[in-house]
């Protein structure tokens, strides 16, 4: 039923809690997990002196978030892939879900973003609205 499950990660407790739910589902269905983290665009800073340092810092932070998720999963027979992308999180999540033909997206209800929706976070609201597959928003 769920061959591939995308897990949106931003380093928040909510996203790590969502990872636990995704793992449980993956274990039940023999699904593959795709861990996705998107970091903000840096192209608008391309001419700044610190551009390369900022890009490296954002990539490093993204890698740390994915590594933390891998450690949380521990030893598992579940196949796990990773996607570290630059760009707005909703668009990155939706793009990976479409490209990889994901059967389910699992994400936390609120992340670490500074803008928050009334009930759900702005990222989870946009993803759940535009996704072409089911979206599980974990509270």
CA atoms within 13 A on the CB side of 28: 9
How many Å apart are CA 64 and CA 32, to the nearest integer? 21
Structure confidence at residue 29 as a pLDDT band (50, 70, 90): very high
40-91: pLDDT as tens digits: 887 766 777 788 888 899 999 999 999 999 999 999 999 999 999 999 999 9
Q: Which of 4-8, 40-44, 82-86, 98-102 comes out lowest in average pLDDT?
A: 40-44
Structure confidence at residue 28 as a pLDDT band (50, 70, 90): very high
pTM of the model: 0.89
Q: Which fold has domain 4-138?
A: Rossmann fold (3.40.50)
Residue 9: pLDDT over 80: yes
DSSP for 32-49, please give it: EEEEEEEE---GGGTTST
Structure confidence at residue 118 as a pLDDT band (50, 70, 90): very low
* Burial class (CB within 10 angstroms; exposed 0-12, middle 13-18, buried 19+) of 105: buried
pLDDT at 101: 98
H helix or E strand, kind and range, residue 96: helix 89-99
Residue 35: pLDDT over 50: yes
């Amino acid at each position: 039923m769920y061959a591939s499950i995308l897990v949106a990660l931003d380093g928040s407790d909510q996203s790590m809690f969502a990872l636990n739910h995704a793992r449980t589902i993956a274990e039940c269905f023999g699904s593959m997990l795709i861990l996705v983290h998107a970091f903000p665009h840096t192209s608008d800073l391309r001419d700044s002196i610190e551009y390369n340092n900022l890009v490296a810092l954002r990539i490093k932070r993204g890698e740390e978030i994915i590594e933390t998720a891998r450690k949380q999963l521990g030893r598992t027979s579940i196949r796990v892939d990773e996607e570290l992308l630059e760009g707005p999180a909703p668009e990155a999540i939706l793009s990976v879900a479409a490209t990889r033909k994901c059967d389910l997206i699992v994400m936390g209800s609120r992340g670490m973003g500074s803008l928050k929706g009334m009930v759900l976070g702005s990222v989870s609201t946009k993803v759940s609205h535009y996704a072409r597959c089911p979206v599980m928003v974990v509270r």
